[in-house]
Amino acid sequence: MDFNDENINPKYIQNIWHKNFAKWRIFNASFEQHPSQSLKECDSLIYRMIENNIETLLSIGLLSAGFELRASYFYNQFDKNLKIVGIDPNPTKYVQEVKEFVESEYGFHFNVIKDKSENVVFENNDMVFIDGDHHYKCVKSDFEKAIKIANKMIAFHDITTTVKEGASANDPKIFWKEIKNSYKHEEFKHPEALKNLIYGIGVIYL
Query: What is the pTM for the complete model shown?
Result: 0.85
With 70 as the cut, is the pLDDT of residue 133 above it? Answer: yes
| pLDDT, greater one: 4 or 180 | 180
173 vs 181: CA distance, rounded Å: 13
DSSP 8-state secondary structure symbol assigned to residue 36: S
Q: Is 84 exposed, middle or buried (0-12, 13-18, 19+ CB in 10 A)?
A: buried
62 vs 90: CA distance, rounded Å: 9
Domain range annotation of the chain: 10-205
Write down the pLDDT at residue 192. Answer: 63
| pLDDT, greater one: 102 or 166 | 102
Write down the pLDDT at residue 135. Answer: 94
The 10s digit of each residue's pLDDT in 139-171 is 999 999 999 999 999 999 999 866 666 567 789
At residue 80, what are phi and psi to the nearest 5 degrees? -110, 160
Fold for 10-205, please state it.
Rossmann fold (3.40.50)
* Confidence band of 57 (pLDDT split at 50, 70, 90): very high
Average pLDDT, the chain: 83
With 70 as the cut, is the pLDDT of residue 52 above it? Answer: yes
With 60 as the cut, is the pLDDT of residue 53 above it? Answer: yes
Write down the pLDDT at residue 6. Answer: 46
Strand order in the sheet with 125-130: 110-113, 83-87, 56-60, 125-130, 150-157, 201-205, 184-188
* Confidence band of 28 (pLDDT split at 50, 70, 90): very low
Q: What percent of the chain has pLDDT over 90?
A: 56
